[in-house]
Amino acid sequence: MPKYAAELTQGQAFSRTAQDGGTSDTAQRAYKVVLLHPAEVFNPQTYTGTFIGSRHPTNLNLVCTSFDAKFEGDSRMVAIVTFSYQSYASASASGGRADPKTVSPASRPANWTTDVSLVEIPAPTWRAANISTGKSAGNWRVPINPAGDRYEGVTKLVPTTTIRIDQLEANDPLLNNQWVGYINSEPFQVGSLGILRHTLMLRGISSKPHVETFGEQTFRGWMATYEFSHRDNFTRINDSVTCSPGWDRLQIVEGYNVKNVAGRQNDADVDPYGMALQHANYEVVIPLQIAAALVGKKSKAMIGIPSVDGQPGQSGMFQRPASSPIALNYDGTPRLIDPNVAGALDPTVLRYQVQNEIDFAILNLRLT
């Protein structure tokens, strides 16, 4: 055990550097340690009471990051120990928590960084605007033209936030690689950002070995970086229904085929001429009836075309296969969406999950 250790006033130093948009403070403290004999082995941290991870006694923003010791004189009985302190700008510190370098690596909060960019995705709905002023002039609806046919290729830009979370892992994080591509099954919180279900995806994980000294302990593990992609994708289905599907898919319900559901040909939400109807002399007969052989079955979607030589007992309409998808109801029957027909409806929109989901609590991220 050394004879004594005393702090040296002349060994103290302080500096500040401001560059590249950041400010960094450094400081040094020096101790003189007198040994009992030249061959004595000692731990400078123990006998000076200063450890890596300790705060500076007068500037609490500074944390001890390293030390060095060297002998003074030829007797090798006196050692000068210098401790170096540094300030850290971190996501955790800016988030209102303690600077992570002052906390043991075993429980140290994670750091995170973010960046946001716009990506182009399909737009299931839109809203009419005045052609001169740009002022909104209509309701939110599925993009259809005046004839009731849907416009294809309509897109919109939505913000996507990339979140990178860094934390020290005591165990090999390779086990978590199986969750890459999964989305959150439960609400999630990163800083002040509250994240809804299915709006956060784990995009990737990287890790590298890490060794760190804190106090008198040495920690060995991995520094892991978890990359997430957050997409809220707030959408107005119509003027009364909104949703934030995130990584789910909003699908307009349409198709090249229909289901010929018995009795539905006379319902208000059904376009009967999209179904397989009974014909006589190449025209649809009245009252409208589904072709007997196709009741309850699937068939090619049809469109009704006026006939120029209608006969008694016939509707004056004949049918031809549709060349493009037509709107469907939830049961697969053709949906009436002709804007020129009283009581016509907009196409329906459904939400589907396409990515596997987990509760990201399984990753044990230390975000609070």
Per DSSP (E only), the strands in 307-347 are 317-321, 326-327
- As a whole number of angstroms, the distance between CA 258 and CA 54 comes to 72
Contacts of 43 (CB under 8 A, 6+ apart): 216
pLDDT of residue 92: 42
- Between the alpha carbon of residue 245 and those of residues 125, 156, 266, 322, 347, the distances in Å are 13, 14, 34, 31, 18
Of the candidates 307, 309, 304, the residue with the CA atom closest to the CA atom of residue 288: 304
pLDDT of residue 125: 94
Per-residue tens of pLDDT for the chain, all 368 residues? 677 788 888 878 898 887 766 677 899 999 999 988 888 888 888 888 888 888 888 888 888 888 999 988 777 889 999 999 988 654 344 444 555 667 788 788 888 999 999 999 999 999 999 999 999 888 899 998 888 888 989 999 999 999 999 999 988 899 999 999 999 999 999 989 999 999 999 999 999 999 888 877 888 899 999 999 999 999 999 888 999 999 999 999 999 999 999 999 999 999 999 999 998 888 898 899 999 999 999 999 999 988 776 666 677 888 999 999 999 999 999 999 877 776 678 899 999 999 999 999 999 999 87
- As a whole number of angstroms, the distance between CA 202 and CA 190 comes to 14
Of the candidates 192, 133, 190, the residue with the CA atom closest to the CA atom of residue 163: 190
* Residue 11 host element (H or E): strand 4-19
| Spatial contact of 165 and 111, defined as CB atoms under 8 Å apart | yes
The tokens for 341 are: 């027909």
Of the candidates 120, 96, 308, 57, the residue with the CA atom closest to the CA atom of residue 192: 96
pLDDT of residue 99: 57
| Spatial contact of 307 and 284, defined as CB atoms under 8 Å apart | no
Q: Quote the radius of gyration of the chain (alpha carbons, Å).
A: 36
| Spatial contact of 61 and 25, defined as CB atoms under 8 Å apart | yes
| Spatial contact of 230 and 163, defined as CB atoms under 8 Å apart | yes
Beta bridge partners of 153: none
How many residues would you count in the chain?
368
- As a whole number of angstroms, the distance between CA 118 and CA 67 comes to 47
DSSP class per residue in 166-203: EEEESS-GGGGGGGTT-EESS-EEETTEEE-TT-EEEE
Tokens 């003189």 found at: 32
Burial profile 171-188: b = 16 or more Cβ within 10 angstroms, e = fewer: eebeebeebeebbbeeeb
| Spatial contact of 316 and 310, defined as CB atoms under 8 Å apart | yes
- Between the alpha carbon of residue 232 and those of residues 26, 83, 199, the distances in Å are 42, 48, 5
Angle CA(242)–CA(248)–CA(254) in degrees, nearest 5?
Answer: 80
Q: How far is C-alpha 292 from the geometric centre of its chain's CA atoms?
A: 51
Q: How far is C-alpha 15 from the geometric centre of its chain's CA atoms?
A: 41
Q: How many CA atoms lie within 13 A of 265 on its CB side?
A: 21
| Spatial contact of 349 and 124, defined as CB atoms under 8 Å apart | yes
The tokens for 300 are: 């090619």
- As a whole number of angstroms, the distance between CA 279 and CA 25 comes to 88
pLDDT of residue 12: 87
Q: How many CA atoms lie within 13 A of 206 on its CB side?
A: 6
| DSSP 8-state assignment for residue 365 | -
